[in-house]
Structure 1
Amino acid sequence: MFYRVHQFVQAFFPRIHPSETFEAIRFLSPKAKSLFLQQSPAEQRHALSVAQSLLDYQDILSSSDYLDLVTAALLHDCGKSLVTIRLWQRVFIVLMQQMPKSLWIRVENGPAFLAAPLKIAKHHALWGGNLAHKIGLNPRICLLIREHHTPSTKLGQMLHKADNEH
C-alpha cells in the first residue's frame, strides 16, 4: 500500500535533479535524448528510477547488453508521449491492473472515457518500440521496449523486474 501511495506522489510531484537527467542521457544518442525528453516529467522520473535500479547488472553484463538495457529502461514508456494521460487515468490503470482480466476486457470495450486509459496501457509498449525504431535504435532495444510487460529474453526479464519495482 505504501508503495502505491509513494508512486502516486511521485506521479503528481515528480522530482528530478538536473544531474540525474544529465547522467542518464549520456547513454543516449541525440535522437534518443529527444525521445526521452518528450516524455512527461512523471514518465521521466519513472524511467530514471528504473534505469537506476539496473546498476547492479553493470558488472555482470557485457557493456553492449548493459547499454541496451539502460537505453530501453530510459525509453520503455516513451509510447505514452503520443497521448495525454491524466492523473486520474494513471490511478485508474493501476487499479484496473489489480482486477480480473475479464473486467479489464469489459471496461476496455465500454465507454470511451474509461476504455482510453486501458488502451494506452495495453498499446504504449508497441508504440514506444515503433518510436525507437523510427529514430534508428538497434532492434534489440526496440524489442525490449515493445516487450517490457511481456519479456521473452533475459534482458527483457531484467527490465520487467526493474519496471515493476517502480
Structure 2
Amino acid sequence: MALVTRKRLVRLAKGFFPALCRPDDAWALARLAPDEAALYQAMDVRDREHNVAVAKLLLERWPDAPNCAVRAALIHDAGKSLRPYNVWERVFTALFERWAPAVEPYPLREGLTGAWQVRLHHPRYAADRIADPCVAEIVRLHHEGGPLWAERLHEVDHGF
C-alpha cells in the first residue's frame, strides 16, 4: 500500500474544507478559449485548484507543451461538474475504484450509481463538451492513455 503523502493529506483536507482552496483562476482563464473557460468556471473550486496545479506541473516538466495540452490539463476534470459529486462520494469512489461496478455513462443517475458514473466517465463527459478536437482528445484519453499528451497528462495528474 502506498504511503499517504503530505500532498494527499492536504488535498483530502481541502476536500472537506473547500474554502481552503485558492485556484489561480486568472492564470487559467487567460489560457482557455471562451467555451473552455465556461467549463472551467462551472467546476468545483477543488477541481479548479487541482487542474491548475496539474497544468502548471505539465508546463514545468515539458515547457514545450502545446497550448492544447495545457488547456486540456486545465479542464481535464470538468466532467465531474455534470452532476453534484459530493466529498463523501469522491472519497468513497476513490478508495474503492478497483471494485467499481461497470456502469454505462448515460443516463446519468443519482446516488452512488451516479457517483460511480462520474468517477469512471468524467473524461468523456468533459470531452463531449469541448469544441477543440485536440483538447477534447487529450481530455477523453487522459485516463486510458493514447496520444503522447494524453499520456503525459495522465502521468502528471496521477502524481497528485
Runs (4+) of structure 1 moved beyond 6 Å? none
Percentage of pairs with the same residue: 26
- Structure 1: how far apart are the matches of 2:114 and 2:68? 31
Query: Would you say 1:131 and 2:125 are equivalent positions?
Result: no
Quick one: which of 101, 104, 107 aligns to 1:105? 101
Deviation string, structure 1 residues 127-152 (Cα, Å, up to 9, x no partner):
100011xxx22x11101111110110
Output the TM-score relative to the length of structure 2: 0.83
Aligned twin of 1:162: 156
In terms of fraction of residues, the more helix-rich structure is 1
Greater RCO (Cα-Cα under 8 Å, separation 6 or more): 1
What is the CA distance between 1:80 and its match in structure 2? 1.2
Give the Å deviation of 1:58: 4.5
Flag the structure with larger Rg. 1
- Which of residues 113, 126, 137 in structure 2 aligns to 1:143? 137
Q: What do you get for the CA RMSD once the two structures are aligned?
A: 2.0
Structure 1 length as normaliser, TM-score?
Answer: 0.81
| 8 Å contact from structure 1 (residues 144, 155) kept in 2 | yes
Q: CA deviation at 1:54?
A: 1.0
Partner of 1:29: 33
- Quick one: which amino acid aligns to residue 117 of structure 1? A
